Structure 1
Amino acid sequence: MHGGMAGAGWAPPQLEDFILTERLGSGTYATVFKGYRKRNVREVVAVKCVNKRSLNKASVENLLTEIEILKTIRHPHIVELKDFQWNKEYIYLIMEYCAGGDLSRFIHARRILPERVARIFLQQLACALKFLHDRNISHLDLKPQNILLSSLDKPYLKLADFGFAQHMSPRDEKHVLRGSPLYMAPEMVCSRQYDARVDLWSVGVILYEALFGRPPFASKSFSELEEKIRSNQPIETNLVMEAVEKDQAGDASAALSLYSKALEYFVPALRYEIDARRKEAIRSKVSQYISRAEQLKVLVSSNNKTLLQQGNPARDILKEMSKDKPRLYAALAVASAAVAKEEEGKDDSETLDLYQQSLGELLLMLAAEPAGRRKELLHAEIQTLMGRAEYLKEQIKRKESQLEAESMGKEGMMDSVRGSCTLQ
């Protein structure tokens, strides 16, 4: 929620040692501003301004607990409370400034995070949580919005907003509802007693959101949320069924949206599936849904409906739209040749070379292409070709490994024969 004072509705409060500038965000009873220390080094800070008049008894207790906890802990992955001050109107928490914004914005800007990035972030979050739990402190409001990034250049996580944090030993049990519903553990959602382990559920939801771009259980009420958590039905199945229904009903726009959402679950599942048979089944579904989504995208956003209704695949439509760009048209022709070779069963290095040749050109074309329908189609086509090239590369490696194993087996047999001849 970075931004200037426009929309804040009032000027930032006056603070003796700091100049407060842009508003970084606001909550129920606090607004956070970016600030600069006036004297000596121009240190950048984040100042959480709490209006005393907005506090009730519970929020006063939460604020005091937050100050008490943050004053006593120092950790590289927990935002630092540098100082706190107060006057007649406000209580000020002077915090470490994190230039990278929060994790929620970071994920949404990229749609999903690569596994290696998610793994590093999770290790950092786990490190901060272990530090807290070793000191019998539970955060109780873990969510991407409460996890800040040190910077966007080389980001590392900083756990923030300890407004709901509590001192809890592993054996303590509470029943007060705290946190945000989408990230709450089931025992909280169901208004049962809970202990320090509820933070671990929230970590799982955060990891899921990092990898898939959205929390696993979206709902409008606690009862609906409880029902979804208890359900054994795979999350993506409903999306696909709804997409097919909308598609059959002729609602191309809704079907496209649902297919796209379903693919956000299937594509990572394909990547991490170990069982070869299941992986091939998922690959077939992914290919089918990507193809249909590409066709629907053209149907929704372009005037090439006639081409589509004649059964032309998205690649042919893209070629038709690229006749004014010979270099792009030629690269798409090479891609078509690679696909044709692969579909003939020629999963060899020559086919892979064609894929790589076309992708090299298409990526350059994509960078130079102005925003519009053709760029959208080109982006989708590159993703499809990359997937096919990666699959082909795996097939070639597998064949090479088999040949190598067979070769080693034959050599071993020959050595055995030579050995027996020598003995005789």
Structure 2
Amino acid sequence: MAVSGWGPPRVDGFILTERLGSGTYATVYKAYAKVRSGCSLVSVAEEQARNRRMKDTREVVAIKCVAKKSLNKASVENLLTEIEILKGIRHPNIVQLKDFQWDSDNIYLVMEFCAGGDLSCFIHTRRILTEKVARVFMQQLASALQFLHERNISHLDLKPQNILLSTLEKPHLKLADFGFAQHMSPWDEKHVLRGSPLYMAPEMVCQQQYDARVDLWSVGVILYEALFGQPPFASRSFTELEEKIRSNRVVKLPLRPPLSRDCRDLLQRLLERDPGRRISFQDFFAHPWVDLEHMPSGESLAQATALVVQAVKKDEDGDAAAALALYCKALDFFVPALHYEVDAQRKEAIKAKVRQYVSRAEELKAIVSSSSRALLRQGASAQDLLREMARDKPRLLAALEVASAARAKEEAGEDQDALDLYQHSLGELLLLLAGEPPGRRRELLHTEVQNLMARAEYVKEQVKMRECRWEAETMDKEGLSESVRSSCTLQ
């Protein structure tokens, strides 16, 4: 059993060393697993000396010590819920509960040790994170939240201080501190205030009635802080903070640093004050900026390889457009496979394959682009007729003008601008098509929408291929570990 004293408490099977942090109810210590001598003739002093000598080779853990006398009924329930939830969880982005013990004074949670500190320190040391680094962390956080959401678990205290990093050299995010976590179905409503005011959703503060969507607001605040250096409601006093939370003003995003369109879209949808209009969990997990499908994993290489096999078959059959599309999709998985791979030889082999497939994709692009330009010209007469029939529909005419601008950008090789314009025009035209009565104009509009969707998909593939090529070239020049490390160095 453990015995409390002036120093760290004594816990069976562990040597507690430095204090890592403390809160209202608990103190966390770094600890080492003891070496069992297996012989009763070895003295306590000898065993302690052996433990000191073998300290660097033994398992390191973090032990959360909770003083029983500091617990009221609610905090006891929270602690039991935390133990119950963590006992059944095994996920690479959630801190693992290895064991728990108790004695007359304390309860001890033996946790996975994270040497990189917490995300709050990581952000503040660097002032802000680049969008690329923030995206890697957001993918990992989203993966952990998806795992929890599938089990109807809400964290309810998401903040940078509760997100740990495995190491500083190659940081890997670990969600921690489930002291406020609850089993909650998406439609469950709670009334007890939980969490930290800076990261607390407005409906929790203003109405004290909320559901699982409060976690999505907290994710938005964390992402905002990572990108801009401070949370959106940073204040000098609690009164000022409360006023900002209770306000109906839309959360404005700073113009600097510049962010991608997808990143800004996700932030604005996460930081929607009205939970009914806030992005849903499923849309969050599927959002193109989060892109969980292409998160680096052990399956990335197998997924890339399967797509390449299909691409080669289409290539051999002479279907250049289908082969190009499949090569582009394969490259989407090869890049995360490179991020995931740690063996230097295997990484070099993957890079060589990426260069080979990018080269072939470029050749196919030239073939497809030639026929693509011909198709653009062929559709011009139908587009002119539709524009003529839209003279009494200003909104339809405006959407068609945007589509024309998108085609001009595509022909000029400005793929990203073309894609943005295609998507904008399609958003309008799909709405107009739904309300268009049967007739010749509806037929032409339906054909135009189909053509624009095909153009947008084609341009999207070109944008992705260029991004994949750039990623592969960056890794080839610098090496993956150096690339990640340089992205994470001090600003």
The two structures have a TM-score, normalised by structure 2, of 0.47
| 1:217-256 deviation per Cα after TM superposition (whole angstroms, max 9, x unaligned) | 02433674354563537758xxxxxxxxxxxxxxxxxxxx
Distance in 1 (alpha carbons) for counterparts of 2:70 and 2:28: 15
Correspondences of 1:6-17 after superposition (within 5 Å): 10-17=6-13
Percent identity, aligned pairs only, is 73
Distance in 2 (alpha carbons) for counterparts of 1:234 and 1:135: 31
CA RMSD for the aligned pairs? 2.4
Correspondences of 1:17-416 after superposition (within 5 Å): 17-39=13-35, 42-219=58-235, 220-221=237-238, 224-228=241-245, 230-232=247-249, 265-269=254-258, 271-272=259-260, 405=412
By how many angstroms is 1:268 displaced? 1.2
By how many angstroms is 1:267 displaced? 2.3
Distance in 2 (alpha carbons) for counterparts of 1:75 and 1:272: 30
**Are the structure 2 counterparts of residues 128 and 226 from structure 1 closer, same or farther at C-alpha, using a change threshold of 3 Å?**
farther
Amino acid at match of 2:132: R
| 1:149-205 deviation per Cα after TM superposition (whole angstroms, max 9, x unaligned) | 000011111000000000101111001000000000111111331111110000000
| 1:90-127 deviation per Cα after TM superposition (whole angstroms, max 9, x unaligned) | 10000000000000000000000010000010011011
Tell me if the contact between 1:34 and 1:46 (Cα under 8 Å) persists in the aligned partners. Answer: yes
Tell me if the contact between 2:233 and 2:241 (Cα under 8 Å) persists in the aligned partners. Answer: no
Tell me if the contact between 2:156 and 2:182 (Cα under 8 Å) persists in the aligned partners. Answer: yes
Tell me if the contact between 1:189 and 1:226 (Cα under 8 Å) persists in the aligned partners. Answer: no
Tell me if the contact between 2:205 and 2:245 (Cα under 8 Å) persists in the aligned partners. Answer: no
By how many angstroms is 1:42 displaced? 1.5
Amino acid at match of 1:177: L
Distance in 1 (alpha carbons) for counterparts of 2:111 and 2:228: 31
| 1:130-166 deviation per Cα after TM superposition (whole angstroms, max 9, x unaligned) | 1001101000000000000000011111000000000
SS in 2 for 1:155: coil
**Are the structure 2 counterparts of residues 233 and 72 from structure 1 closer, same or farther at C-alpha, using a change threshold of 3 Å?**
closer
Q: Which has the higher contact order (CA 8 A, sep 6+)?
A: 2
**Are the structure 2 counterparts of residues 185 and 37 from structure 1 closer, same or farther at C-alpha, using a change threshold of 3 Å?**
same
By how many angstroms is 1:31 displaced? 0.1
Count of residue pairs the alignment pairs up? 242
Distance in 1 (alpha carbons) for counterparts of 2:412 and 2:216: 44
By how many angstroms is 1:272 displaced? 4.3
| 1:371-406 deviation per Cα after TM superposition (whole angstroms, max 9, x unaligned) | xxxxxxxxxxxxxxxxxxxxxxxxxxxxxx99x959
Tell me if the contact between 1:107 and 1:210 (Cα under 8 Å) persists in the aligned partners. Answer: yes
Distance in 2 (alpha carbons) for counterparts of 1:70 and 1:225: 33
Which moved further from structure 2: 97-106 or 223-232? 223-232
Amino acid at match of 1:221: F
Tell me if the contact between 2:198 and 2:241 (Cα under 8 Å) persists in the aligned partners. Answer: no
Moved >4 Å (runs of 4+): 233-236, 271-274
Amino acid at match of 2:185: S
**Are the structure 2 counterparts of residues 55 and 39 from structure 1 closer, same or farther at C-alpha, using a change threshold of 3 Å?**
same
Q: Any gaps of 5 or more consecutive residues in structure 1?
A: 1-8, 237-264, 275-400, 407-424
Tell me if the contact between 1:181 and 1:222 (Cα under 8 Å) persists in the aligned partners. Answer: no
**Are the structure 2 counterparts of residues 205 and 172 from structure 1 closer, same or farther at C-alpha, using a change threshold of 3 Å?**
same
Tell me if the contact between 1:217 and 1:229 (Cα under 8 Å) persists in the aligned partners. Answer: no
The two structures have a TM-score, normalised by structure 1, of 0.54
| 1:261-313 deviation per Cα after TM superposition (whole angstroms, max 9, x unaligned) | xxxx44214x5479xxxxxxxxxxxxxxxxxxxxxxxxxxxxxxxxxxxxxxx
Amino acid at match of 1:63: L
Tell me if the contact between 1:170 and 1:195 (Cα under 8 Å) persists in the aligned partners. Answer: yes
Q: Any gaps of 5 or more consecutive residues in structure 2?
A: 37-56, 263-407, 414-491
Distance in 2 (alpha carbons) for counterparts of 1:77 and 1:161: 13
